Structure 1
Amino acid sequence: MYVPFSVNDFLVRASSVYGERVGFVDEPDQPAEPLPDLTYAEVHDLARRQAARLDELGMEVGDRIAVISHNSSRLLTSFFGVCGSGRILVPINFRLRPDEIAYIVAQSGARVLYIDPELADSLRDIDVEHKFVIGDDEAMFAAPGVEPRPWEPDENATATINYTSGTTARPKGVQLTHRNLWTNAVTFGLHAGVTDRDVYLHTLPMFHANGWGMPFAMTGLGVPQVVIRKIDGAEILRRVERHGITVMCAAPAVVAAVLDAAATWEGEIPGRDKVRIIVAGAPPPTRTIVRVEEELGWEFVQIYGLTETSPLLTINRSRAEWDDLPAEERAAKLVRAGAPAIGVSLRVDEHGEVLARSNVILEGYWERPDETDRALVDGWFHTGDGGTVGEDGYLIIKDRKKDVIITGGENVSSIEVEDVLFSHPAVAEVAVIGVPSEKWGETIKALVVLAEGQEASEADLIAWCKDRAAGYKAPTSVEFRDELARTATGKLQKFKLRQAYWEGAERQVN
């Protein structure tokens, strides 16, 4: 028997098995009126009403519906109300500038755009067929009792398009199918040991690879999901205490924020021996892992993946064989990217690049067949990361082959930042690289050669970037050089430019 996978499978089960259980707890402090605590039966009803409203707007199967929002129950519902009715959800990074958002809306061909109230003024000029401010529930949801048109699931249909920075100045739209999302959610939930006794905190932005698939995995297992809108270490600890949180996902910068808050927390740290925090973006230092286990009493879990892989490729969770190891030795094992998840095959090619093969890997880049052909070769996905696989099957990421910097969990294309800096009249040459940062994992450094007779300060160039790109893409430092290392053919040798800043490190990522 063949039954096609659909993201709706997760919500249908939650509604059937855990219908009376509270499923979504909205962020109380937000510009829109928070939704009340929703049982899974109520979430299912609200998702159907969203689908019915899209019917009323004339949206067809395959139409793109974009949403730019901080974490909220309404965004969480859209993973089912949009994708579960055969449309394609386009979750957009709310940190981007209006012109960057406009590009994504246009390139995806989105017909509907839901906008966070905090961003309504800055995005008022974006051209789209239907534009609604989140919180206007009459515009977002049909009246109670209105049934949506039925959709016959197609597991190979695109469910989401997630835009990611890579080797091009413009972000690429990653097409993830229902089969991709279903496989990722099930394998992730299995490896993370999720049960209906868990309580999940959405510390991870939901636009990041669809919250790494947790909206689906947690829903299918009936897990109460608590929404947090803006990240603050002390507030995370308060939510853990108030709601009995047992699991969350986070970038290394979030881990650092929680550790900082714990240093001044009065009383016992909440969640001790109960919380597991799943971390990705870049491996933190081993001492950070030790601090999570000793100061917080939380379990540290490391994963590796990309938006293009839904994202789970590997997972590194402490094993029984490591229980008696000293904390530092166990941390040294946990800092690795991890072992392949079920159904994932990995290999390293002759150039040292990590290649992957799995049902979680993207269908392609939206309307970019050239980029798709470069990434998918002979049945293998080229990650753009350099690494090694040990005899025990564990992957270690050593270097980033593509020009991407991961800072605070955000992907930044170095090429895009270079383009912005090149537009400054005083800049003759520029190379943008990632350098180690205790707080952000990596931070952005610009190496600049000024044009003859021109002047510009570090502050001038940083401000120039902040005026022309999202703030997190701006360099945190600028170093002026007389020349930049190049090959005989004139190509920048970024690996040489990075060497001085990574001296003594085992790998060229942090």
Structure 2
Amino acid sequence: MLNLSIILEDSARNTPDRTALVFGDLRLPYSMVDSVANQVANLLVARGIGKGDKVALLCPNLPYFPFVYFGILKAGATVVPLNVLLQPREITYHLTDSDTKALFCFEGSPELPMGARGREAFDAAEGCELFFVLPATPLATESEYGESFWAALDGMSGEFETVQTEPDDTAAILYTSGTTGRPKGAVLTHMNMLTNTIVSDEMFPADPRGDVSLAVLPLFHSFGQTAVMNVSVRRRATLVLQPRFESGETLKLMREEKVTMFAGVPTMFWALLSKIHADGDEAPSTLRVAVAGGAACPVEVLKDFEGTFGIPILEGYGLSETSPVASFNQLGRPTKPGTIGFPVWGVQMRLVDDGWNTIEGEGSGEIAIRGHNVMKGYYGRPEATEEVMRDGWFRTGDIATCDEDGYYTIIDRTKDMIIRGGFNVYPRELEEVLMTHPAVSLVAVVGVPHDSHGEEIKAYVIPAPGATASESELIAWCKANMAAYKYPRIVEFRENLPMTATGKILKRELR
């Protein structure tokens, strides 16, 4: 028996009265979070959801997220967290691709109408049977989009005996934008997720008075889920939830809640520093651990942060396919700024060439990973799994070097991926959608350097003969058809695109 929900149950048993979640004025103790998760589990079982069934969760960083996440796990089901920026067409794809039976969907706001999008997607996804609305108004029992979470939980017991799951049973399916177009679901077991949580937690000594962790990284993403939420729950810390990153608000929360741990992507650290320098403020004084991942952090930002906050940013590396943490600048050895550190406990890394042969010395080569953290494979995609897995090794698509001390440094992405504000954007997926527009004959999407987002998305378009669509019309169309972090902000019309002899577009000449 091994179930990831044990991290919540253990903390609720040992520190029932300690504050688990902070959201605005709400202070929720561990006992309550566990008991609502038990109600969710009872609800799922009562509605016929059982071991191995998939349940999707479309929700920003709100108390609902851990309630539902751990409730799904307790019921023995598999949680499928979805990106809150997805459009209805994209949500339907994820629900259908993962064989999801139930969807818990936040109602959203006028700016981000998740309830409307989720409902439209649910209605179009044939196999999905149950739709629960997480209302924006606290404890509301009615919603225009369907059955309210609180109404559904009414009369459900706060006690539940967690369904027995084996270490190799699936805990979560995390979708990762595939380099070959459509997103693929990385299948992660209870063993993958639990071990990665324990290893990540034990890299840092706990504050005896209780740690306070700030969750602004989205919890639907592997980094926020394991390194922030699950680590916080396991170490009986207080998790302060911030649904959207805003540098002023983040700094305010750090000060007011006496935050000791913060994990972010490089653009967040850059924004926090810019805000402090612009306002001439002191940095929050309680922070003890700062962790960066998601993209390489500019060395200037690392230096500035240490000078301003008095602690280093520790950089790590991982992917959805590796639960996610694979390597880290760990406290027992010197930190090397600009590197992703060395493999965490129980994980091996090596550099390989196209034929899987190990590259000796510094490299460069593609990072391959083996360990407790590597996924079972991509859901329903044996060919795609076979492409990246061999003898327990997973090849990442990231090109790196490795120094004599075993520290790795990422130098490039193999597949033209764009990282915009910490979100992975795969050009091919956008190109496929853009090609469906009648005014587009051919398109190449690339990332161009951007001061605050790291990269901005640009589409080079060869227009269809006689087409009259303008740049702004095309951008507006993309905005309506793609998630907000994906659509191109810049469109340039061209008569032709640079190509190789075999007709491949030379993207490096477009950047």
In structure 1, what residue type is equivalent to 2:275?
A
Tell me by how many angstroms 1:249 deviates.
Answer: 1.4
Report the equivalent of 1:122.
Answer: 117
Aligned to 2:360: none
Report the Cα distance in structure 2 between the residues aligned to 1:183 and 1:195, rounded to whole angstroms.
21
Q: CA deviation at 1:70?
A: 0.9
Distance 1:355 1:80 in 2: 31
Deviations 1:296-345 (A, max 9, x none): 334311111111111101112577756xxxxxxxxxx3111221111111
Alignment of 1:295-306 (within 5 A): 295-306=308-319
Task: Give 1:179's aligned residue.
Answer: 191
Give the whole-Å Cα distance in 2 for the aligned partners of 1:305 and 1:280: 8
Q: Cα–Cα, structure 1 residues 267 and 281, in superposed 2: closer, same or farther, change >3 Å?
A: closer
Contact 1:199 1:246 in 2 (8 A): yes
The equivalent residue for 1:257 is: 271
| Aligned partners of 1:166 and 1:412 also within 8 Å | no
Distance 1:472 1:219 in 2: 29
Name the amino acid aligned to 1:10: I
Alignment correspondent of 2:461: 448
Match for residue 232 of structure 2 among 209, 218, 221: 218
Percent of aligned pairs with the same amino acid: 35
> Could you tell me which residue of structure 2 aligns to residue 248 of structure 1?
262
CA-based RMSD of the aligned residues comes to 2.2
For 1:342, which of 342, 345, 369 is the aligned residue? Answer: 345
Mapped partners of 1:163, 1:432: distance in 2: 21
Return closer, same or farther for 1:51/1:318 CA change in 2, 3 Å cut-off. Answer: closer
Shift of 1:394: 1.0
> Does the 8 Å contact 1:434/1:443 carry over to 2?
yes
- Return the alpha-carbon distance in structure 2 between the equivalents of residues 357 and 198 of structure 1: 31
Aligned to 1:309: 322
Q: Equivalents in 1 of 2:70, 2:331: separation in Å?
A: 33
Deviations 1:72-100 (A, max 9, x none): 11111223211132111111001111110
- 5+ residue gaps, structure 1, are 29-35, 323-332, 502-510
TM-score, length basis structure 2: 0.88
Q: 1:144 to 1:290 in 2, by over 3 A?
A: same
CA shift digits 1:339-395 (9 cap, x unpaired): 111111111112422111111011111111121111212321010111111111111
Q: Does 1:209 find its partner at 2:222?
A: yes
Match of 2:165 in 1: 153
Output the amino acid matched with 2:131.
K
Cα 1:278/1:73, change in 2 over 3 Å: same
Q: Compare 182-191 and 208-217 and name the one that shifted more.
A: 208-217
- Is 1:9 the counterpart of 2:9 in the alignment? no
Between 145-154 and 88-97, the greater mean CA deviation after superposition: 145-154
* Residue 375 of structure 2: aligned partner: 362
Equivalent position of 1:31 in the other structure: none
Contact 1:55/1:149 (CA < 8 Å) preserved in 2? no
Distance 1:151 1:417 in 2: 41
Q: Which residue in 2 is equivalent to 1:268?
A: 282
Q: Does residue 86 of structure 1 match 2:89?
A: no
SS of equivalent residue, structure 1 residue 334: coil
Q: Which runs of structure 2 are paired with 1:383-422 in the superposition (5 Å)?
A: 383-422=396-435
Q: Alpha-carbon deviation of 1:277?
A: 2.1
Provide the C-alpha distance between the structure 1 equivalents of 2:334 and 2:309, rounded to a whole number of angstroms.
22
C-alpha distance in 2 between matches for 1:243 and 1:349 = 45
Counterpart of 1:22, as a letter, is T
| Aligned length, in residue pairs | 477
- Report the alpha carbon displacement of residue 112 of structure 1 after superposing the two structures with TM: 1.5
Residue of structure 2 in register with 1:433 after alignment: 446
Equivalent of 1:39, from 29, 33, 53?
Answer: 29
Equivalent AA in structure 2 for residue 488 of structure 1: A
1:433, distance to aligned residue in structure 2 (A): 1.6
SS in 2 for 1:121: helix
Q: Does 1:103 align with 2:93?
A: yes
Unpaired runs of at least 5, structure 2? 109-113, 136-147, 355-364
Check 1:53–1:270 CA distance in 2 against 1; reply closer, same or farther (3 A cut). Answer: same
What is the TM-score normalised by the length of structure 1?
Answer: 0.88
Q: Which letter maps to 1:335?
A: G
User: 1:267 deviation in Å?
Assistant: 4.7
Shifted more, 229-238 versus 463-472: the winner is 463-472
Opposite residue 86 of structure 2, the aligned amino acid is L
Aligned equivalents of 1:58, 1:294: Cα separation in 2: 55
Q: CA, structure 1 residues 444+9, in 2 after alignment: closer, same or farther (shift >3 Å)?
A: same
Q: Which amino acid aligns with 2:496?
A: E
**Could you tell me how far apart the structure 1 residues matched to 2:277 and 2:155 are?**
49
Partners of 1:204 and 1:410 lie apart in 2 by 11
Give distance in 2, aligned partners of 1:75 and 1:113: 12
Name 2:298's counterpart in structure 1. 285
* SS state at 2:118 partner: coil
Q: Structure 1 residues 223 and 432 mapped into 2: Cα distance closer, same or farther (>3 Å)? A: same
- Whole-Å separation in 2 of the counterparts to 1:303 and 1:354: 14
- CA distance 1:170–1:140, shift in 2 (3 Å): farther
